[in-house]
Structure 1
């Protein structure tokens, strides 16, 4: 049974913000080996989540992992995305869907934030404090 991954972002009127999710999708495709990795947006940019689901189904997906590319489980993740899944289930009876967990708190995200802080301090010409050992 063919499985697809649909990455879902918030969406922005700023094109570069939306382009970032497409770059993440390319990384996910490479890392996971899934043939179908699509991108969709909750609002302010196309394709919509329903159009993203349509794209997955059009490529033969019978199962879709809907992955919310959000930091935390706010209203979009807890309410809006399940409603999108319900709408898609009415349109595609028999389509299996599951909703992944948002990024949340993760040590790798903490590392990325520290890396970005170091880059910003360096760019500003500011000194950083001595690094501490991680406990």
Structure 2
């Protein structure tokens, strides 16, 4: 019996070298921008995509254009732009597609695709439940702070 791989098989796109850009909103707060870098490192380690770059829609670097250029320099022929957003909205419908198209204009031989955001994926429900359980465990004194609360006063039970 074989054990299932932790990395799901990727869709093979014939004759394409695929790159993925994970895009968040961007923030003036360094710790918020740093979280995207952590997500990218974790995604690289747990996916089969050979090119994965971070990008911020606004307010911080790297921009979508910078990330797109990095993908192109690594030989990408197809760039997948994944909005690291919980829900669809103006940024997903308008801003990110516009910024991706502007970035792609500098690389006319590279195709690109903007995917749907995270949205209401069934695994998000598990993530929400796990986060709530971890925070309840923290305030009960049964565990230490999670990686998100380590530099803050988060997970404090208020009167």
Same fold (TM over 0.5): yes
Distance in structure 1 (CA, Å) of the matches to 2:134 and 2:108: 49
Per-residue deviation, residues 104-127 of structure 1 (Å, max 9, x unmatched):
00221111111211222232239x
* Structure 2 Cα separation of the partners of residues 33 and 85 of structure 1: 23
Q: TM-score, normalised by structure 2?
A: 0.73
Residue 42 of structure 2 aligns to a residue in which SS?
A: helix
Structure 2 Cα separation of the partners of residues 94 and 27 of structure 1: 29
Aligned match of 1:117: 132
**Higher RCO (Cα < 8 Å, 6 or more apart):** 1
Distance 2:140 2:98 in 1: 48
How many residues of Structure 1 are paired with residues of Structure 2 in the alignment? 126
RMSD of aligned Cα (Å) = 1.6
**In the alignment, is residue 84 of structure 1 matched against residue 99 of structure 2?**
yes
Which residue, out of 117, 122, 139, partners 1:107? 122
Q: CA deviation at 1:88?
A: 2.2
* Contact 2:19–2:51, Cα closer than 8 Å, also in 1: yes
Unaligned runs of 5+ in 2: 1-15, 142-159
Partner of 2:89 in structure 1?
74
More helix by share: 1
TM-score (norm: length of structure 1): 0.85
Unpaired segments ≥5 residues, structure 1 = 127-135
Q: Judge which range, 50-59 or 106-115, deviates more.
A: 106-115
CA contact (8 A) 2:83 2:117 kept: yes
